[in-house]
Structure 1
Amino acid sequence: MSTRHILLGLLARGPSHGYDLKRRHDERFPQARPLAYGQVYTTLQRLVRDGLAEVDRTDSDGGPERTLYRSTAEGARELVGWTGEITPPAPFVTNEIFAKVVCAILASADPAGPASAADAAGYLSAQRTAHMTRMRELTAVKTTPGADLSTVLSADYALNHLDADLRWMTTTAARLTTLTAEVDPA
């Protein structure tokens, strides 16, 4: 996800302080990794440097200085362009779970290695348990009375991805004998 564009989107509603942008990000994207304040301010500085945002004013109100940022016309054009771009499906699939299954098969073939620690079927079973636990957590989050739509939609997105992973794990577990023969033809 592009922090730069997300902040431009949040600035589209009008001038904001970095603190407010971080808070609104975390509210609007509840299942995303929360932004660090340092990341917000670094990104804002880059947006200003690139002419996509500018300092609206600086207030102190007797306390620490707070800078108010706003999007520029160029920033608004950049945001419209970004939101209109189709996100291409990833050309390469990086799947850590698959990599661990293959490495577990390879490690279990090593007579010097501890076979029990490198058991691909056991790993898939444990990973499935972790996925199911996360799915229960997300289901509880989205069914909490009063859950806002952003939270529900974020949870649905994550649940669908976890479900796809579970289906893949089931298929892979059923094919482990064949995969083992291909990976370790010894």
Structure 2
Amino acid sequence: MSLGQLFLGLLETQPRHGYDIKRLHDEHFGRDRGLHYGQVYATLSRLLKNGLVVVDGVEAGDGPERKRYAITDAGVTDFANWLAHPESPQPYLQSTLYQKVVLALLTGRSGADVLDAQRAEHLKEMRELTRRKLTGDLTDQLICDHALFHLEADLRWLELTAARLDELAARITESQR
């Protein structure tokens, strides 16, 4: 997701200071990884340069002046186009995990050990997400569900690969001759 698009969406409802944008981002999207102020102001600067936002006002404070940013008509159009455009599904055609399994087999190590270690790590993460989901608000529940569904798909792949590991090892051995 583009941080710029996210900022445009937050600004579409009303003009805001950089501090307010950071607070809203961290509250709704950044619970696990909040934004740094440098990211906020660098993104706002880029949006300003591209004509997608304007400085709507400047307020004096105890520290530096506080600029209030507002979305422009071009920014509204840009945001609406981004929102309407579906995200491309992200297939894992170059999976690091697959590469580890193949490399383990190529080097005479156990592909099953790689799969078992990964399965344990996935299950650990799933338990943590399930705990978080049970104690979290709706935002946490939805984010955790999304992550859990992806981890479930990974686990299905791990099981399928484990069932076909002998066949994969045979093909790798054959290709080495």
Which TM-score applies when normalising by structure 2? Answer: 0.90
Q: 1:127 maps to which residue?
A: 118
Superposed displacement of residue 143, structure 1: 0.6
From 157, 161, 166, the counterpart of 2:155: 166
Aligned length: 175
Amino acid at match of 1:64: P
Superposed displacement of residue 184, structure 1: 2.7
RCO higher in 1 or 2 (8 Å CA, sep ≥ 6)? 1
Q: What are structure 2's unaligned runs of at least 5 residues?
A: none
Q: Please give the alpha-carbon distance, in whole angstroms, between the structure 2 residues aligned to 1:24 and 1:36.
A: 13
Q: Please give the alpha-carbon distance, in whole angstroms, between the structure 1 residues aligned to 2:97 and 2:2.
A: 25
Deviations 1:68-106 (A, max 9, x none): 211111101111111100222246623121111112112
Deviations 1:37-66 (A, max 9, x none): 222211111100011111112222223322
Q: 2:145 maps to which residue?
A: 156
Q: 2:132 maps to which residue?
A: 141
Superposed displacement of residue 31, structure 1: 5.9
Amino acid at match of 1:122: D
The 5 A counterparts of 1:13-32 are 13-30=13-30
Q: What are structure 1's unaligned runs of at least 5 residues?
A: 109-114
Deviations 1:116-148 (A, max 9, x none): xxx22111111111111111111111110xx32
Quickly say closer, same or farther: Cα 1:101–1:34, change in 2 above 3 A.
farther
Q: Please give the alpha-carbon distance, in whole angstroms, between the structure 2 residues aligned to 1:2 and 1:170.
A: 34
Q: 2:57 maps to which residue?
A: 57
Q: 1:111 maps to which residue?
A: none
The alignment partner of 2:13 has SS state of coil
Which TM-score applies when normalising by structure 1? Answer: 0.86
Amino acid at match of 1:66: R
C-alpha RMSD over aligned residues:
1.8
Quickly say closer, same or farther: Cα 1:34–1:93, change in 2 above 3 A.
farther
Does the Cα contact within 8 Å between 1:29 and 1:154 map onto a contact in 2? Answer: no
Q: 1:106 maps to which residue?
A: 106
